[in-house]
């Protein structure tokens, strides 16, 4: 049995990762401030500390427990929201990384795995994007994530094994359907189910790489198994390009009722298009995705409709 810290286990990705680790028989701790997460998402048996990862007093509440690895997922996860309060974004997404890396070093935790983002790339050519591409961030969120990546790299020089996973558009059951400023699939699906109307901010020609939550959690687990030293960063996507128009068509096809669609406005800091080259993660840690977009979207739509019915008794 190993002992892990999964920050942000009340959130979408952290809760699924924490649940999986508990099912595997491990001991799991979490820190979560419940800003976008829900207490009921935190799996049973997880040791929960409520508070901010950028708060030294909260980190001290870990009592110098030695973790086999720290998975740092807690943070503000929207480029758009980072424009509301850039200083808060820096604290929640970057200062938190620094404090956790420092804790890892002090307590001889050898491994830190970080939830970075495809947003670090900004505008790029219409081709699969590699980890070596130049980073041209368009939002404060992306700038903070790049800074965290550099902290990981510097701490690897002190002996930590650090990994940044640049997650592309993660979707799937459990995604927050109330936060209409984060998560393209969840936003459109929530609008469709709640209002029978989808408002798309931006062009239908924009494109993304949609990766299912179960595949993403597997990437975290495999990154943890990777025994190579130093700092590494990997794209976690499918390598498949889908336009926004294509996504909307697929959502409509899965719904048992009619939905109207309107395109107007735009979102600050939004990239026009991006999809991943996934050769590096495949070659170095053996990860690839197993859930096709059609299958994943079908599972998510069924889950979202069921959840809505349950909420309305």
Ligand X SMILES: NC(=O)c1ccc[n+]([C@@H]2O[C@H](COP(=O)([O-])OP(=O)(O)OC[C@H]3O[C@@H](n4cnc5c(N)ncnc54)[C@H](O)[C@@H]3O)[C@@H](O)[C@H]2O)c1
Alpha carbon distance 254, 185 (integer Å):
13
When the beta carbons of 178 and 228 are compared against ligand X, the nearer one is: 178
Per-residue interface string for the shown chain with ligand X, residues 41-60, x marking contact by CB under 6 A? -----------xxx------
Q: What share of the chain is helix, strand, coil (3-state, %, to 5)?
A: 40, 20, 40
Q: Are the CB atoms for 135 and 155 separated by under 8 Å?
A: no
CA distance 113 to 56: 20
- Which of the stretches 4-12, 103-111, 123-131, 150-158 binds ligand X when contact is defined by CB under 6 A? 4-12
Q: Are strands 69-72 and 3-7 parallel, antiparallel or unpaired?
A: parallel
Q: Does 237 bind ligand X (CB under 6 A)?
A: no
* Piece of 167-175, 194-202, 245-253, 270-278 that binds ligand X (CB under 6 A): 167-175
- Taken in order 199, 204, 206, 212, the sign of the CA dihedral is positive
Closest CB to ligand X among residues 14, 128 = 14
Binding of ligand X at residue 156 (CB under 6 A)? no
Please work out, in degrees rounded to the nearest 5, the angle formed at the alpha carbon of residue 73 by the alpha carbons of 209 and 150.
85
Tokens coding 52: 């901010």
Q: Is 97 in the site for ligand X (CB under 6 A)?
A: no
Return left, alpha or beta for 261; rule: phi > 0 is left, psi -120 to 50 is alpha, else beta. Answer: beta
Residues 84, 85, 89, 92, CA torsion sign: negative
Decide: is 96 part of the binding site for ligand X (CB under 6 A).
yes
Work out whether 207 is an interface residue with ligand X (CB under 6 A): no
What are the E-state strand segments in 156-258?
Answer: 161-167, 169-171, 197-200, 207-208, 210-212, 231-236, 242-243
Q: Does 189 bind ligand X (CB under 6 A)?
A: no
170 binds ligand X (CB under 6 A): yes
Q: CB 313 → ligand X: shortest distance, Å?
A: 26
The correct pick among 36, 97, 139, 156 for binding ligand X (CB under 6 A) is: 36
**Binding residue (CB under 6 A) for ligand X from 26, 27, 34, 221:** 34
**32 sits near ligand X (criterion: CB under 6 A):** yes
User: Which of 18, 167, 276, 281 is close enough to bind ligand X by CB under 6 A?
Assistant: 167
Shortest distance in whole angstroms from residue 15 CB to ligand X = 8
Q: Is 95 in the site for ligand X (CB under 6 A)?
A: no
Residues near ligand X (CB under 6 A) are 8, 10-14, 31-37, 52-54, 73-77, 92, 96, 115, 117, 167, 169-170, 176, 183
């Amino acid at each position: 049995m190993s002992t892990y810290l999964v920050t942000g286990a009340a959130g979408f990705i952290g809760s699924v990762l924490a649940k999986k680790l508990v099912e595997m028989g491990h001991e799991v701790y979490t820190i979560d401030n419940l800003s976008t997460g829900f207490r009921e998402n935190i799996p049973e048996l997880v040791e929960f500390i409520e508070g901010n990862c950028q708060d030294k007093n909260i980190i001290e509440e870990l009592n110098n427990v030695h973790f086999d690895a720290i998975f740092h997922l807690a943070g503000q996860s929207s480029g758009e929201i980072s424009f509301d309060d850039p200083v808060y974004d820096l604290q929640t997404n970057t200062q938190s990384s620094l404090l956790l890396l420092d804790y890892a070093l002090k307590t001889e935790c050898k491994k830190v795995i970080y939830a970075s983002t495809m947003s670090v790339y900004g505008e790029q050519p219409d081709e699969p994007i590699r980890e070596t591409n130049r980073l041209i961030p368009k939002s404060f969120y992306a700038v903070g994530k790049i800074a965290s990546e550099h902290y990981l790299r510097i701490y690897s020089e002190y002996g930590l094994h650090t990994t940044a996973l640049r997650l592309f558009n993660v979707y799937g059951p459990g995604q927050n359907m109330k936060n209409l400023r984060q998560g393209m699939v969840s936003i459109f699906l929530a609008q469709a189910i709640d209002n029978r109307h989808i408002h798309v901010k931006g062009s239908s020609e924009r494109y993304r790489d949609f990766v299912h939550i179960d595949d993403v959690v597997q990437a975290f687990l495999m990154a943890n198994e990777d025994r190579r030293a130093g700092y590494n960063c990997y794209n976690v996507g499918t390598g498949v390009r889908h336009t926004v128009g294509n996504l909307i068509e697929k959502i409509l096809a899965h719904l048992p009722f009619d939905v109207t669609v309107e395109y107007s406005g735009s979102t600050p800091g939004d990239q026009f298009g991006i999809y991943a080259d996934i050769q590096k993660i495949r070659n170095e840690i053996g990860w690839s995705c197993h859930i096709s977009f059609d299958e994943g979207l079908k599972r998510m739509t069924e889950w979202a409709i069921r959840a809505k019915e349950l909420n309305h008794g």
